[in-house]
Chains A and B, each alone.
Chain A
Amino acid sequence: MSLEEKQSQDIKATVKKLSLVVVGMCCFVAALVPLYDLFCEVTGLNGKTGGPYVFDEAKVRPDTSRLIKVNFLTNTNEGMPWEFRSQKGSVRVHPGAATTVSFYVKNTTGKPMIAQAIPSLVPSSAAEYFHKTECFCFEQQLLMPGEFLDMPMRFIVDLGLPRNVQSINLSYALFDVTDRVGLPDDIQSTSNQVSPVAGG
């Protein structure tokens, strides 16, 4: 009898340990999301660029020996009817020199809409060396019917950019987030900037 009792105690102990493994794996998968973001931020693997970058232009001397071609690609996500394009298709910049480019966006529909631009950069090995001090992608845009806007983006290519990278392609996808964010009650407001969001 005691043998049977011992066995049932052993079984309980095993079940407890295994349940802990299950709970541990649930925690692991929950932790995967921030870990994935952290991993991508450190390595730049998914081509995401960082948030607002603080940069003191007076302290950095541009590397005039190198000229990097930066190409801008714009596209609107499925079902997003806005007009969205880069004013200059590409620019050539020296690493360390801050440059401003602008993007044209127009609400072609008959109703107010909110948009969010999401950047992606190729090659991913350059992502951590591409800094933006100012970008429309840090905010969402609320445009009235027919309203258009020139949106500035100021960036610096880091001096540490690997030597084998001669050109960088930065793509912006414009998403319709009107339903997700919801129009403010007072849509007559002249402001075209809604609350800033994380990411970008």
Chain B
Amino acid sequence: MSEIIHADHHDDHAHGPAKGILRWLYTTNHKDIGTLYLWFSLAMFFIGGAMALVIRTELFQPGLQFIEPAFFNQMTTNHGLIMVFGAIMPAFVGLANWLIPMQVGAPDMALPRMNNLSFWILPFAFSMMISTLFMEGGGPNFGWTFYAPLSTTYAPDSVTYFIFAVHLMGASSIMGSINIIATILNMRAPGMTLMKMPMFVWTWLITAYLLIAVMPVLAGAVTMMLFDIHFNTSFFNAAGGGDPVMFQHIFWFFGHPEVYIMILPAFGIVSHIIPTFARKRLFGYTSMVYAVASIAFLSFIVWAHHMFTVGMPLAGQLFFMYSTMLIAVPTGVKVFNWIATMWRGSMTFETPMLFAIAFVVLFTIGGLSGIMLAITPADYQYHDTYFVVAHFHYVLVPGALFSIIAAVYFWIPKWTGKMYDESLGKLHFWLSFIGVNVTFFPQHFSGLAGMPRRIPDYALQFADFNMISSIGAFIFGFSQLFFLYVLIKTIRSGKPAVGRAWEGAKGLEWVLPSPAPYHSFTYPPEVTDKESYA
């Protein structure tokens, strides 16, 4: 994604990238590392997507047609793990690497060598995890939430590889987050106060704090699993005085902040794209910042809404129900602000804007089904059904993923110096938009009618909805291959882009030429209100 121009007209120490594979192995350049992260996440997206299509193929009709239930379980588990930890999170980290130094006017990330390390342990982590699928006894098959005792007493032998893979992913995320916070807090250009920072920088600052707070909790959970499996402890084993419910508490204490880790940077991206194509300032910048901070805080006190059915006293159920519903308030503020930004703007509908508007609409649908799930008595019906599957796919696919795709279309002229083909981009959007809704909307209905999640076979009355869902999944999946084609076409033969590729775009990155030089902002730029959405 990076056609870097050689900056050899500089007389100082600045120089272009090294040649060959070593460039990518040894690089400490934030643009190179951002590129590596983005390509890696795209590869993982296709692997996880292929697993989703295996799942949808099996569910096309009731009965068992193509795969064994044991393999089906491995597919659902690995699809979830790869999409969460391999596709969405690294894609956001890649965007952070590319954009944050340029947006705050810094020459690079604060800790470039650690940046290299935090990327390069990821391919090892995922090779290790995916390799377990080919081992005797199979790979992880206990769901992406790996509840004990499914992941301890009843786990396949390969579970130890999974545990170490999760440790590596956690280490990578923690290092990446420390790097991002250190960059944002210390390397902003003079004059860029915290409340003048671009929204993407703000959302990532808060996300990085969430990651630092919860990744050790995840590491702790898998370490306890490791001890239960190999060292005869009983953290989660009732026979030895432990408690399997404690696993769920610890997991979701990590897990709920984790789902916001996957959506807050998306809020930031959309807050760049909508003002650009509405040609207005972002409505309510300050309230946007406080809304993100409130959502981050609330994410720590709602975890037990994932486990209402585990048996909880009334006071606990009420607390977690109300605290969960409270999240709708700051989220509502954000949705209102995006709409108010578009209100009476001179809107145009280029591909990034289409994805951003679809984000606002479809993420809101996902948010509303979230509120339904937060209602404790109703949750007893929805728990572990396809309604939950529809809910979190609506917030993750047309939510997080659409924002990433929007970001790629929006910033690709800056990265490559080339413009994508607008009509191909629009075609990709409409295929994705139709595909995603055809896939996930019917799942609301099969879920409400009682179809459980994570099953390879189902009762006959769910046949129609599942068939529609599978057709949608194939439309969506193959339209992402089309996305790959659009990307490659852009890189190879896109029309040259100017520095400010979008007339309404604001921010320091647009002051730079396109493609952004290998070394940018060696001297801090001037920060003006003209380049701020605030």
Does B associate with A?
yes
Residues in A lying within 8 Å of B, measured CB to CB: 7, 10-11, 14-15, 18-19, 21-22, 25-26, 28-30, 32-33, 36, 40, 43, 45-48, 77, 116, 118, 124-125, 173, 175-177, 180, 197-200
Q: Is the CB of B238 within 8 A of A175?
A: yes
Q: Is the CB of A10 within 8 A of B212?
A: no
Interface stretch, picked from B178-186, B412-420, B513-521, is B178-186
18 new A-B contacts, CB < 8 A, other than A7-B186, A14-B185, A176-B239, are A14-B181, A15-B111, A15-B182, A21-B213, A22-B215, A25-B213, A25-B214, A26-B216, A29-B221, A32-B249, A36-B249, A43-B313, A45-B313, A46-B243, A118-B238, A180-B239, A198-B241, A200-B241
Docked complex Cα distance between A45 and B310 (Å): 11
Min CB gap A5→B, angstroms: 12
Min CB gap B236→A, angstroms: 10
Within 8 A of A (CB), among B184-212: 185-187, 212
Residues of chain A lying within 8 A (CB to CB) of residue B217: 25, 28-29, 32
A199-B241 in contact given A32-B250, A180-B232 (Cβ < 8 Å): yes
Q: Is the CB of B212 within 8 A of A124?
A: no
Q: Which residue of A lies closest to B177 (CB)?
A: A18
A18-B212 in contact given A29-B220, A32-B220, A124-B311 (Cβ < 8 Å): yes
Q: Which residue of B lies closest to A19 (CB)?
A: B178
Docked complex Cα distance between A125 and B241 (Å): 20
Docked complex Cα distance between A41 and B253 (Å): 20
Q: Is the CB of B182 within 8 A of A11?
A: yes
* Interface status of B430 (Cβ within 8 A of chain A): no
Residues of chain A lying within 8 A (CB to CB) of residue B187: 7, 11
Kindly name the residue among A11, A30, A177, A197 whose own CB sees the greatest number of chain B CB atoms within 10 A.
A11
Q: Which residue of A lies closest to B217 (CB)?
A: A29
Residues of chain A lying within 8 A (CB to CB) of residue B182: 11, 14-15, 18
Docked complex Cα distance between A11 and B371 (Å): 41
| 7 tightest A-B CB contacts, nearest first | A29-B220, A199-B241, A175-B239, A25-B216, A10-B186, A26-B216, A14-B182
* Interface status of B95 (Cβ within 8 A of chain A): no
Interface bits B228-252 vs A (CB < 8 Å: 1, else 0): 0000100100111101011001100
Q: Which of B219, B240, B249, B313 contacts A180 (CB 8 A)?
A: B240
Residues of chain B lying within 8 A (CB to CB) of residue A124: 311, 313
Min CB gap A23→B, angstroms: 8
Docked complex Cα distance between A116 and B234 (Å): 13
Min CB gap A69→B, angstroms: 21
Residues of chain A lying within 8 A (CB to CB) of residue B238: 118, 173, 175
Q: Which of A47, A48, A177 contacts B239 (CB 8 A)?
A: A177
Min CB gap B309→A, angstroms: 14
Q: Is the CB of A33 within 8 A of B246?
A: yes
* Interface status of B174 (Cβ within 8 A of chain A): yes
* Interface status of B168 (Cβ within 8 A of chain A): no
* Interface status of B38 (Cβ within 8 A of chain A): no
Q: Which of A15, A26, A36, A197 contacts B243 (CB 8 A)?
A: A36
Min CB gap B100→A, angstroms: 14
Residues of chain B lying within 8 A (CB to CB) of residue A21: 212-213
Number of B residues whose C-beta is below 8 Å from A? 36
Min CB gap A115→B, angstroms: 9
* Interface status of B129 (Cβ within 8 A of chain A): no
A interface, over-half SS: helix
Docked complex Cα distance between A199 and B238 (Å): 10
B interface, over-half SS: helix
Q: Is the CB of A197 within 8 A of B232?
A: no
Residues of chain A lying within 8 A (CB to CB) of residue B216: 22, 25-26, 28-29
Docked complex Cα distance between A28 and B186 (Å): 28
Residues in B lying within 8 Å of A, measured CB to CB: 110-111, 174, 177-178, 181-182, 185-187, 212-217, 219-221, 224, 232, 235, 238-241, 243, 245-246, 249-250, 253, 311-313, 316
Min CB gap A128→B, angstroms: 12
Residues of chain A lying within 8 A (CB to CB) of residue B232: 180
Residues of chain B lying within 8 A (CB to CB) of residue A36: 243, 246, 249
Residues of chain A lying within 8 A (CB to CB) of residue B111: 11, 15
Residues of chain B lying within 8 A (CB to CB) of residue A29: 216-217, 219-221, 250
Q: Is the CB of A177 within 8 A of B212?
A: no
Residues of chain B lying within 8 A (CB to CB) of residue A7: 186-187
Residues of chain A lying within 8 A (CB to CB) of residue B212: 18, 21-22, 25
Min CB gap A77→B, angstroms: 7
Q: Which residue of B lies closest to A174 (CB)?
A: B239
Q: Which of B185, B220, B224, B235 contacts A26 (CB 8 A)?
A: B220
Q: Which residue of A lies closest to B106 (CB)?
A: A7
What are 20 A-B interface contacts by the 8 Å CB criterion?
Answer: A15-B178, A15-B182, A18-B177, A18-B178, A21-B213, A22-B178, A25-B214, A26-B220, A29-B216, A29-B219, A29-B250, A32-B217, A32-B249, A33-B224, A33-B246, A45-B316, A46-B243, A46-B245, A116-B240, A197-B241
Q: Is the CB of B239 within 8 A of A14?
A: no
Q: Is the CB of B246 within 8 A of A14?
A: no
Q: Which of B110, B245, B249, B313 contacts A11 (CB 8 A)?
A: B110
Q: Which residue of B lies closest to A43 (CB)?
A: B313
Q: Which residue of A lies closest to B187 (CB)?
A: A7
Docked complex Cα distance between A197 and B239 (Å): 11
Kindly name the residue among A10, A29, A47, A118 whose own CB sees the greatest number of chain B CB atoms within 10 A.
A29
Docked complex Cα distance between A26 and B223 (Å): 11
Min CB gap A197→B, angstroms: 7
Docked complex Cα distance between A28 and B111 (Å): 27
Residues of chain B lying within 8 A (CB to CB) of residue A32: 217, 220, 246, 249-250, 253
Docked complex Cα distance between A101 and B98 (Å): 70
Min CB gap B45→A, angstroms: 28
Q: Is the CB of A14 within 8 A of B186?
A: yes
Residues of chain B lying within 8 A (CB to CB) of residue A19: 178
Min CB gap B507→A, angstroms: 22
Q: Which residue of A lies closest to B314 (CB)?
A: A125
Docked complex Cα distance between A116 and B246 (Å): 20
Min CB gap A37→B, angstroms: 8
Kindly name the residue among B212, B219, B240 whose own CB sees the greatest number of chain A CB atoms within 10 A.
B240
Residues of chain A lying within 8 A (CB to CB) of residue B181: 14, 18
Q: Which residue of A lies closest to B181 (CB)?
A: A18
